[in-house]
Amino acid sequence: MRRTWSLLFSLLLLTGCALEAPLLRLSLGQEEVRAREGETAILPARVEARGLRARLFVEGLPPGMTPPPLEVEGKRELSLAIPAREAGTWEARVVAEGGGMRREASFRLVVEGASSLDLYLEGTVYVGGEGVAPQTQAATDRMAYCPQGCPGRPLGGGWYRVEGLGGQALGGLSLPDRPVRAQGGEAEPLFPEEWNLPLARFPEAWAEATGEGVVVAVADTGVLPGHPDLEGVLLPGLDLVDGDTDPTEPSTGSPLQTFHGSHVSGILAAAWNGVGMAGASQAQILPIRLLTPEGTGRESDLILALRWAAGIPVPGLPPNPHPAQVVNLSLSGEGPCSPALQEALDDVRARGVLVVAAAGNYGRDYRDYFPGNCRGVLTVGAVGSDGRLASYSNRSAPLLAPGGDGASGVLGPTLGGHRLLKGTSQAAPHVSAALALLRSRGAASPEALEGALLAGSRSTPEGRLLDAFAALKALEGGGVAFRVEGRLALKPGEEGSLPVEVLSPYPVPVRVAAEGGLAAYLAPNPAQGTAHLRVRAPTGTAPGAYRVRLEGGGAEATAEVQVKALPARVVLSACSEGGACRSLVLPPEGGPFRLEGLSPGTYRLLAFLDRDGDGALDPEEPRGEAEARPPATGVRLLVR
C-alpha cells in the first residue's frame, strides 16, 4: 500500500512540473507624466498576463480623470490615455489583477493649469525671393483660375493654361514653376524575378499585413488602366497636364517611353490576381498625372497635386472623394525647397498624410534636390540586388530601398507587358508600400509610422535599408526614431534651434549630451512629434564642428553644430509692446521655431536672412514681418 501511494505521489509531481504556472507582470514606461489642463496625458504601460486574463485599471485619480479599465491577455504594450481635466499633482498607480494576483506600478500625474502656462509663439519661417536659387528653366505659361472663362486653353473646372505668362496662381498666390523630372532608369531586358521584394523582406511581412484599404497617391506620368497588373487597383484620379479627370498616360509610339507611372504603381501595388507580377502591397492607387510621357513636369502642378491628393480643396479642381494616406513622388528637381512647396507639404502633413520622395539619380547629395530636401518628406535612395548603394543614386538619404543597379533592374508594368527599370523612382514605391502595410494595421500617427519604418530598417555602411517585416515588428513594440532636420551654425555667444522629429506613438524622455562645452536641451522633453533642440555656444567657444547626441527609447541621433563666422543664417526677433525683445537663430533655409516664456500682449516679429553673419539687418538683406499675441501656433513669416 505504501508503494502504491508513493508511485501516485511521484506521478502527481511529474504532472505538476509539466504545467506552466500563471504569470502576471506590470511595468510603466515612465514614472511621471505631464499634461496641460484640458489635454490628454499618455502613460506607456507593459503587461504580461500568461495563463490568465488580467484586468488593468488606474487608482488614485479624481473622478472623471480615470481611464476605462482594460482586459488584457498575453504580452501587451499599451498607451493609457488619462483625461487631464483638473490642474494639480496626484500620486496614482496602475493596477493589474487576475488569477488571484495583483500587481501595482506607481506614477505621478502633473496637470498644469491653463492660467499658469508659459506664453509662447510657434510657427515657421519660409525663405523665398532672393533666398531661392534661380530657376533652371524659364516658365512659358501659367495657370489662372477663371470661373467665368478667360483666354487660353481650358483645363476644366475653371482652370485655364494661359500662354506667355510665368509662374502659376492659386488663390492669388504665385506658385513656382521649376522643372521636375521622373527618376526612373533605362530599359533592361525582361527578367521575371522580383529580387527586390525579398531584399526588403516583403514576403515575410505579407503574413502580418497587406496594405489593403490604404490609399496611396502616385503623382507621375499617369497610368495604363487596362494593364492586368493594375486591374481593380486604380481609383478615379486627376490629370493636371491635360486638365481633366482621366490620368491615362497617352502612348507616343516612342520606344523610349517607359510608362513610368504604371511601372511605379505596379511595384507599389500590382494586384495579386494570378496574372503578371506581385506588388509590394495591396493598397489602392490614386493616380495623378503631372508629368509628360517623357517624364517632365512643373513644380506648380506638384503643389496642386499634393493638396488635392490629401483632400485639401483646391479652387477649380473637382473634390477628391478618396484622400490618400501616403503620397509617392518618384520625381525630383534641382534646387532648394521653395516656400510654396514647403507650405503645401506642411499642410499635407498636418492632415496625417506621409510623403515619400525619390532622392534623385545624379550621384550627389540628395539635399541639393527638391522635394526630397523639404522638411517632413521621407526621402529614398536606391540599392542594387547586392544591397549596396546604386552608382547613380543620390547620397545621404535617410532610407534606402531596392532600385536596381548594374545588370539588375526592378520589374514593373509597361505597355503590353513588363520591363526592368532602374532608379530612385523604383526605390520610392517600396517605401510607400511598406507605409501602406503599417497603416493597414490600424490608426497610428505619422510619427509612429515613420518611427517604426526607420527603427526597423537595417544598418549598412551606406545608410539604412528598408525592412518591411522588421518595421511591422517595430510598430508593435512602439518603435522610436529621431530625425534631425538640417545643421546649425552659430557664432560664440549665440543660441540656435533645430527642429527634431521624435517619431514615436508616445512621448519619449530624451537624453541630450553636447560636445565641447556647448549647452543643449530639447523642448519639450519628453517629446513626441516636433520638438526643438536648443543649442548655445558660450562666449569663447573655439571655432569648429561639434555634435549634440540625442538618446531615448532605444533610438539615437546626432545633430551637427558648426561654430564659426557665418556666411548666412536667418535671425528671428520678437519684440513686445514694452520694447523687450527675444532673438533666435535658424538655418539659412528657415524652418520651425518656438519662443517660450513670453509676456502677455502683442509681439512684432522680424525675420531676416543675415548674409554676412553680423547679426544686424542690412538694407539689401531679405526680411519678413508679422504680428502675433501669445500663446499662438501656426505663425508664418516669409523672408523675401
Q: Phi/psi of residue 197, each to 5°? A: -70, -45
Catalytic residue among 332, 425, 457, 504: 425
pLDDT at 238: 95
Examine domains 23-112 and 481-563 and report if their fold is the same: yes
Mark whether 425 is an active-site residue: yes
Superfamily designation of domain 23-112: Immunoglobulins (2.60.40.10)
What is the C-alpha to C-alpha distance for residues 69 and 344, in angstroms, rounded to an integer?
Answer: 41
Cα–Cα distance between 565 and 359 in angstroms, integer? Answer: 31
DSSP, residue by residue, 455-492: HHSEEETTEEEP-HHHHHHHHHTT--EEEE-S-EEE-T
Pairing of strands 354-358, 377-383: parallel
Q: Residue ranges per domain, the chain?
A: 23-112, 191-477, 481-563, 569-628
List all residues 6 or more positions away from 78 whose beta carbon is below 8 Å from its beta carbon. 44, 45, 46, 47, 56, 70, 72
- Other Cβ atoms less than 10 A from the Cβ of 431: the count is 29
Has domain 481-563 been given CATH number 2.60.40.10?
A: yes
Segments of 132-248 assigned E as strands: 141-145, 153-156, 159-163, 168-170, 173-175, 179-182, 215-220, 238-239
For the entire predicted model, the pTM comes to 0.63
Q: Which helix (H) or strand (E) holds 425?
A: helix 424-439
Handedness of CA 439, 444, 450, 453 (dihedral sign): negative
Catalytic residue among 141, 220, 301, 467: 220
* 162 has a pLDDT exceeding 70: no
Of all residues in the chain, the percent with pLDDT exceeding 90 is 51
Q: Which CATH class is domain 191-477?
A: alpha beta
Q: Tens of pLDDT along 493-516?
A: 889 999 888 877 678 889 999 998
Cell of 245: 479627370
Amino acid at 314: V
CA distances from 221 to 177, 250, 287, 541 (A): 17, 9, 9, 52
Query: How many C-beta atoms surround the C-beta of residue 208 within 10 A?
Result: 16
User: Confidence band (pLDDT; 50, 70, 90) for 149?
Assistant: very low
220 a catalytic residue: yes
Question: Burial level of 600, CB count in 10 A (0-12/13-18/19+)?
Answer: exposed
Give the C-alpha separation, 470 to 395, whole Å.
24
Portion of the chain with pLDDT greater than 70, in percent: 85
The alpha carbon of residue 71 and the mean position of all alpha carbons in its chain are separated, in whole angstroms, by 33
| Relative orientation angle of helices 424-439 and 260-269, to the nearest 10 degrees | 40
Would you say residue 134 has pLDDT above 50?
Answer: no
Active site residue 260: yes
Among residues 260, 263, 418, 532, which one is catalytic? 260
- What is the rounded average pLDDT of the residues 398-407? 94
- Residue 540 vs residues 219, 496, 545: alpha-carbon distances, Å: 51, 16, 15
Residue 388 has pLDDT above 90, yes or no: yes
**Is 514 in a helix, a strand, or coil?**
strand
**Among 171, 174, 169, residue whose Cα is nearest residue 132:** 174
